[in-house]
Amino acid sequence: MSKSSQKIFLTTDILYTIFSNLKRQDDIYSLLTVHSIWTEILIKNLWKSPLWTSTKSFACFIKTLQCPTPYFPYSTLIRNLSFTPHKNRDPPSFTPHKNRDPPSFTQKDILFLAKICTNLTNLTVSWMQDPFNSHTFSQFLINSPNLKSIVAPSCTIEWLTNALNPIITNRSVRSLYHIELKNWSYETLETTVLLKKISLNCKNIKSISAPLLITKDIASIIISSYPQLEKFRCHSITNDGLKILVKGLRNLKELTLAFDNEDQDINDENTFHYAKDFSILEKFILTIGYDSNFPKFFNIFSSYQKNLKELELIHCFGLRDDSFIPIVKHCNSLESIKLKWCSQLTDSSYIALAEGRNQNLKKLFIFRSEITDIGLTHISENCSNLEILDLENCKWITLNSLVMIIRNCKKLRKLRGSLPESIAVGIIYEIIKNGKNYYLEELKFRESSYRYPIDENVEEFNDDDDDDDDDDDDDDDDDDNDDNNNSNGNGNNNIGNDNNTNISSISSISSRSVSANNIEDMIESMVISANQFLDDFKNEIINLLNEITNTFMINNDLIDLERRNVLKKNLRLRKKFNEKLLQELSKSCPNLRKLMIRNSKIENITGDKLINILHNFENLEKLCMIPSNLHRNHIKQLEKHSRLKEVLLIGGCTEKAERYIEENRNRKLFIKIMHTYGFLRF
């Protein structure tokens, strides 16, 4: 390498940019000894947010900080400390860390950290028991004047007041930007009073998350205490509280609300009056705890939200297309959409989403929806930059539309779903068929909570065949009716002939003198003829309407029949997850980091071959699968994987293998064995 090249790769600014793109600690460790300048920069990154996952790792962490002559000032490099169980992290893990001895904190250790971590900017504590009493928590606030974010544990208001006392009285944290309070009893008034006291000394707070019921009075306090808020999250809100809040907080960029107060005074008629008063948001999370639709509100609200990038709608059971379509029509910057329990939305909403967002949409999460292949196919055709797709219990989705997602969304990084085994296997076949995929990093297939709709629909399909035979009998009856109608038509012709005769008679009579009796007979004959004509016309209209109705019903039956045929075809083409499929997947997706196949057992594969194939996934870090007959030696070989960190095995291990895992649970690789099925995320 030339001296000029060496100079470039030793430039601090360039190195910071390069190293910031490193996603894995293994890569950082491998570069630590390249050069002293590299070491200095990488050490800062490694110590910025330390993480300990066992008693041993935490003891090593404390011992390093207590070293009298360290190579680097480690304590001054620490910016983030999080005393939180691994399962509560965001994003959450599937808790294989329970297979390890948890870190043991003493009050002495915590006070030591509070004393030496003077450059701390983020502090998160998730429990209030010893050693994390209010005193130890407050020591961090006293010794860390640069704190920007505080996440307090779920606790009583008394605990919070004592813990945050340094902020209230001594102005110890002037740079505080974000505060998140969690109190068990949800004392809204007391929490609001505490926030008001904090605002007197912390003028820079722009982000608050608190379990508050925002009433009219509390909204006024929030506005007067924190007029510059940019992010706000509350537990629930009333109509009067929302009206005051949105008009007073003009700098809000992120807002999380829940329309679920007991009075349910928030409805479409109340909210649409001030829908235009919301600030220009970038992120909006809304929970509606009751069955209600908001078409007027969303139509006005969305027309003013040109900068909205993230939208989450949760428990919106009553939300319909007329509320959702205006959002995707007007909000032209949407990149991420999460829809949870929005069960009333139809394909019309998803078609509008696809056609409205086009290239902007990158993340889509749909939970328990009535979306079908029609809606998902439109998304695949219009949203080619989609990076993350998560489909949870969308029972009308088949392999057809998911294949289109694989083919058209070339930048897809994460694909998750609770899907039947046949569909999951079909997706993997399609991924392999499309060749090398360097984008895909995560594949997660969970078991669906609904029973296989394929089997049920096949049974219904057979029943419908019998119904079709009955329909044929009805058609025969219709033919008989048509014959009767034709007979009636001939009768009408005879009546018409009689009418002609009568008219001729009238003409002949008109040449002579016409008696009164003949005129009466003529009028009576014409009335009879007219009534007969009206009756025949009415019968024709009724028959025409019946034909239209039958045609409509037949079309519906054809659509339903087509859907059942597709499901039946999927059942016939059902494939299994086997050795060859896993081997080909390792070749097609070289950058796969997370693999979860929880809805299918790997068949026709020995333990030796399975472990060898898993080693072919060179970048794999997290694994969840249903193996068969893994022995202790197989587990030992799995532990030699260069990157694998977390493994969840659902059964499939011998007693010796399980005993070995238990005895060696504090080693590098986290392995957990489960013997039951259930929803599990990692």
**337 lies in some domain:** no
Residue 538: pLDDT over 80: no
Q: Of the candidates 566, 592, 618, which is a domain's last residue? A: 592
What pLDDT, on a 0 to 100 scale, did the predictor assign at position 6?
Answer: 65
Nearest Cα residue to 394 out of 419, 415, 424, 426 = 419
Environment class of 269 (CB within 10 Å of its CB; exposed 0-12, middle 13-18, buried 19+): exposed
> Phi/psi zone of residue 95: left (φ > 0), alpha (ψ -120 to 50 degrees), beta?
left
Residue 288: pLDDT over 60: yes
Other beta carbons within 10 Å of 176 = 23
Q: Of the candidates 592, 625, 642, which is a domain's last residue? A: 592
Tell whether 56 and 198 lie within a shared domain.
yes
pLDDT per position as a tens digit, 449-481: 654 433 333 333 233 334 444 444 444 444 444
Sequence-ordered list of residues with C-beta below 8 angstroms from that of 652, at least 6 positions apart, any chain: 601, 626, 627, 628, 629, 630
**What's the farthest any 2 CA atoms get from each other in the chain?**
141
More confident residue, 486 or 429: 429
Tell whether 43 and 56 lie within a shared domain.
no
pLDDT per position as a tens digit, 567-586: 555 544 456 788 999 999 99
More confident residue, 468 or 288: 288
Nearest Cα residue to 294 out of 332, 262, 326 = 326
Which H or E element spans position 27?
helix 25-31
**493 lies in some domain:** no
Tell whether 78 and 134 lie within a shared domain.
yes
Tell whether 92 and 144 lie within a shared domain.
yes
Tell whether 33 and 169 lie within a shared domain.
no
**281 lies in some domain:** no
SS3 5: helix
Tell whether 578 and 439 lie within a shared domain.
yes
Tell whether 2 and 23 lie within a shared domain.
yes
What pLDDT, on a 0 to 100 scale, did the predictor assign at position 121?
Answer: 96
- Model-level pTM? 0.78
Other beta carbons within 10 Å of 680 = 17
Task: Tell me whether strands 207-209 and 213-214 are parallel, antiparallel or unpaired.
Answer: unpaired
Residue 7: pLDDT over 60: yes
**131 lies in some domain:** yes
What pLDDT, on a 0 to 100 scale, did the predictor assign at position 151?
Answer: 93
* Mean pLDDT score, 352-377: 92
pLDDT per position as a tens digit, 115-151: 999 999 999 988 777 778 899 999 999 999 899 999 9
SS3 649: strand
pLDDT per position as a tens digit, 421-439: 889 999 999 999 999 999 9
More confident residue, 470 or 620: 620
Residue 219 structure tokens: 């909204």
Sign of the Cα pseudo-torsion (84, 89, 92, 94, in order): negative
Tell whether 21 and 161 lie within a shared domain.
no
Residue 18 structure tokens: 């390069």
CA atoms within 13 A on the CB side of 448: 23
Cα–Cα distance between 616 and 582 in angstroms, integer? 10
Q: What is the DSSP code string of 283-315?
A: EEEEEE-SS---HHHHHHHHHT-TT--EEEEES
CB 80 within 8 A of CB 122: yes
What pLDDT, on a 0 to 100 scale, did the predictor assign at position 416?
Answer: 96
Tell whether 29 and 71 lie within a shared domain.
no
Which band of pLDDT confidence, cut at 50, 70 and 90, is reported for residue 220?
very high
Residue 502: pLDDT over 70: no
CATH (domain of 105): 3.80.10
pLDDT per position as a tens digit, 587-606: 999 999 999 998 888 888 99
131 preceded by a cis bond (ω within 30 of 0):
yes
Highest mean pLDDT: which range of 254-263, 275-284, 469-478: 275-284
- What total number of domains does the chain contain? 4
What pLDDT, on a 0 to 100 scale, did the predictor assign at position 56?
Answer: 81
Sequence-ordered list of residues with C-beta below 8 angstroms from that of 412, at least 6 positions apart, any chain: 386, 387, 388, 389, 405, 406, 439, 440
Long-range contacts of 226-233 (CB under 8 A, 24+ apart): 226/195, 226/199, 227/251, 229/205, 230/206, 230/254, 231/178, 231/206, 231/207, 231/255, 232/207, 232/208, 232/256, 233/208, 233/209, 233/285
> Phi/psi zone of residue 35: left (φ > 0), alpha (ψ -120 to 50 degrees), beta?
beta
CB 205 within 8 A of CB 178: yes
Which band of pLDDT confidence, cut at 50, 70 and 90, is reported for residue 184?
low
End-to-end CA, the chain: 43
Q: What is the DSSP code string of 526-550?
A: HHHHHHHHHHHHHHHHHHHHHHHHH
pLDDT per position as a tens digit, 546-564: 776 666 566 555 555 555 5
Tell whether 34 and 72 lie within a shared domain.
no
Sign of the Cα pseudo-torsion (95, 98, 99, 104, in order): positive
**451 lies in some domain:** yes
* Mean pLDDT score, 281-310: 94
Burial 70-90 (b: 16+ CB within 10 A, else e): eeeebbebbbebbbebbeeee
Question: How much of the chain exceeds pLDDT 90, in percent?
Answer: 50
91 preceded by a cis bond (ω within 30 of 0):
yes
Domain residues for the domain of 623 are 605-674
Sequence-ordered list of residues with C-beta below 8 angstroms from that of 161, at least 6 positions apart, any chain: 168, 194
Helix axes 239-248, 216-225, angle to 10 degrees: 20
**503 lies in some domain:** no
| Lowest mean pLDDT, pick from 35-44, 76-85, 533-542 | 533-542
Tell whether 74 and 140 lie within a shared domain.
yes
Tell whether 197 and 145 lie within a shared domain.
yes
| Lowest mean pLDDT, pick from 79-83, 160-164, 494-498 | 494-498
CB 346 within 8 A of CB 319: no
**273 lies in some domain:** no
pLDDT, mean over the chain: 81
**278 lies in some domain:** no
CB 602 within 8 A of CB 582: yes
- Helices of type H across 129-256: 134-143, 157-163, 165-170, 188-201, 216-225, 239-248
Residue 501: pLDDT over 70: no
Q: Of the candidates 156, 178, 211, which is a domain's last residue? A: 211
What pLDDT, on a 0 to 100 scale, did the predictor assign at position 54?
Answer: 76
Which band of pLDDT confidence, cut at 50, 70 and 90, is reported for residue 482?
very low
